Amino acid sequence: MSMQKLGKGLAECGVPLEYDVFGEDGKLLLRQGHVINNEKQLNTLLQRGLYVDVAAAAAKAQENLLSGHKYDPFWLWDEIVGKLGHLLRLCDDEGDIPDQVVFLSRLVQMLTDRSKDAALAAMILLPDQGRYSLVHCLHAALLCDMVAMRLEWGEERRRSVVCAALTMNISMVDSQQKLSEQAEPLTPEQRLDIKMHPKTSADILDKAGVGDSMWLQAVHDHHETPLGNGYPNGIKEIGDEATLLRTADVFSAKVSPRTTRKQMNGAQASRVLFTDPGMTTANPFIAVLIKEVGIYPPGSFVKLATGETGIVYKRSSNAHTPIVLSLTNSRGTPEAKPIRRDTSNEEFKIMSVIPRENIMIRINPVSLWGSP
């Protein structure tokens, strides 16, 4: 059983506990439903240390979020972005930062666990340039989680790398947003901030009470490379968690649009990963990432050999041949209902990727990827 420490915001006076609570030694202290009567008792218990089973807490969070609702990965995606923005921008004023980030990591893992295809569709279809700095971190967190899950990393290790992705740019969340919209060359001050932001971010997290060394190290080293030409320290020996985070960070940056740069499609971003020496040297994660995402990630618009315009719906065992839903017929007339096409069939082979800005058809993604 993996345990997570409860912060004050997750246990309240007069409110029944949503799950069993344990002491630091793993012994049961309070049963689910127990009501803590007063603030003094609550503070005493918190000082002693209250812990919950991570799996139970995650299940309860999922139940609360989805109670009475059809599963909507796009709504959940927006919820995570909003909560992440509040947390990162108010880090100095917020208590229990580690616990809150861990909670967000569980929401990311909920996206992965429920449907990787739906999660990737949200990543591709909800670029949100106005919140680029936050969406970028969520992209990286999702990609890291997918790869970690594929490689069967343990629960704690998987959680650590997701937390690192969510907080890797905590020291420059607003300045990164400005940089994504800036057309002018970087100033010397901006270059220095960029170079030092991994260390500064790790220092902020350390000060905020993050005691997970794997999380902190991944943040500190996520821009280092095996060639020694990274930053902030130019080291060559880099942990797997930081290497995975760097890989996801670069891929996310390529598939996300900026004011001064169009987004790449999955095939273009994959080529960048495979051709950049700083990425490929001693990097075991690129091939796994591409296999997980696919050359044509769900949410991508494509032209088929039939002349139909479709949207990639689901990955297959082959990164080049996903399942596509045709949105138009060969003459460009919208279909009343999307038609499923298997692109491993030569008749429905993918001929090209269509930039999203060229798509005039309105779709309701929840109707495609949501579930009861």
Report whether pLDDT(149) > 90.
yes
Mean pLDDT, range 68-91, rounded to an integer: 83
What pLDDT score does 259 carry? 62
- Where along the chain do the CATH 1.10.3210.10 domains lie? 69-293
pLDDT, greater one: 52 or 34: 34
Name the token pair of 26.
């793993």
Percent of the chain with pLDDT over 70: 90
CA distance linking residue 211 with residue 65, whole number of Å: 28
Q: What is the mean pLDDT of the chain?
A: 87
E strand or H helix that includes residue 58: helix 54-66
The Cβ of residue 346 has, within 10 Å, a number of other Cβ atoms equal to: 7
Percent of the chain with pLDDT over 90: 53
pLDDT tens profile 257-300 = 766 667 787 878 888 888 877 777 778 999 999 999 999 999 99
What pLDDT score does 86 carry? 87
Q: Compute CA 295 distance to the chain's CA centroid, rounded to the nearest angstrom.
A: 19
CA distance linking residue 280 with residue 222, whole number of Å: 15
Name the token pair of 315.
């990955």
Distances from the Cα of 178 to the Cαs of 83, 198, 259, in angstroms? 20, 18, 10
Q: In what order do the strands lie in the sheet with 323-328?
A: 334-342, 323-328, 309-314, 301-304, 350-354
CB contact set of 217 (below 8 Å; sequence gap of 6+): 202, 239, 241, 242
The pLDDT-based confidence of 313 (bands split at 50, 70, 90) is: very high
Distances from the Cα of 332 to the Cαs of 303, 309, 337, 362, in angstroms? 11, 7, 14, 14
What pLDDT score does 258 carry? 66
Q: Thinking of the domain 69-293, which architecture would CATH place it in?
A: Orthogonal Bundle (1.10)
Cis peptide before 232 (omega within 30 of 0): yes
pLDDT, greater one: 134 or 47: 134
Name the token pair of 134.
């936050």
CA distance linking residue 272 with residue 80, whole number of Å: 28
Mean pLDDT, range 195-218, rounded to an integer: 96
Report whether pLDDT(93) > 90.
no
pLDDT tens profile 9-39 = 567 777 788 778 888 888 888 888 888 888 8
What pLDDT score does 372 carry? 46
The pLDDT-based confidence of 231 (bands split at 50, 70, 90) is: very high
What pLDDT score does 6 carry? 67
Burial of 147 (0-12, 13-18, 19+ CB in 10 A): buried
